[in-house]
């Protein structure tokens, strides 16, 4: 079992009203970097919290939450598996354990 880090849920950093001259789409196009994910599920939905762990913080700061149906979660899983395979075919195999201690919480 992979060790688990404590996560702090933070408010999403995208404001309700975009800054003057900016749009929500422009803010979303900036993207978010995530090096930690917490995944939980119920019978009806999957919850994925994406965040960052930095040297300054001992706990993950959650930057985005995605909620999806189990059917969409399964489709995402299949697509991710396909894309990782394509990446490995081009760049060589990834070591699944390298640098992953505590970065994934699947409770």
Helix (H, G, I), strand (E, B) or coil at 91: helix
Does residue 78 lie in a domain region?
yes
Q: Decide: helix, strand or coil at residue 77.
A: helix
Residue 2: inside a domain: no
* Percent over 90 (pLDDT), the chain: 47
pLDDT tens-place string over residues 93-103: 988 666 555 55
**pTM score, two decimals?**
0.65
Q: Is residue 25 part of a domain?
A: yes
46-52/60-68 β-pairing: antiparallel
Q: Is residue 102 part of a domain?
A: no
Per the structure, the count of domains in the chain is 1
Residue 99 resides in a domain: no
- Predicted pLDDT of residue 57: 81
Residue from 58, 54, 50 nearest 105 by CA: 50
Q: Where in the sequence is the domain holding 58, given as residue range(s)?
A: 7-91
Give domain status of residue 30, yes or no: yes
Domain for residue 65, yes or no? Answer: yes
Q: Is 97 a domain residue?
A: no
Residue of 99, 105, 106 whose CA lies nearest to 7 = 105
């Amino acid at each position: 079992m992979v060790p688990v880090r404590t996560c702090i849920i933070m408010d999403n950093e995208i404001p309700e009203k975009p800054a003057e001259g900016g749009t929500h789409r422009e803010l979303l196009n900036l993207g978010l970097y995530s090096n930690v994910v917490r995944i939980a599920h119920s019978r009806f939905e999957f919850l994925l919290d994406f965040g960052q762990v930095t040297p300054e913080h001992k706990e993950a700061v959650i930057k985005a939450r995605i909620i999806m149906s189990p059917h969409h979660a399964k489709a995402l899983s299949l697509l991710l598996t396909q894309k990782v395979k394509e990446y490995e075919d081009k760049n060589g195999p990834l070591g699944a354990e390298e640098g992953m201690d505590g970065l994934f919480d699947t409770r």
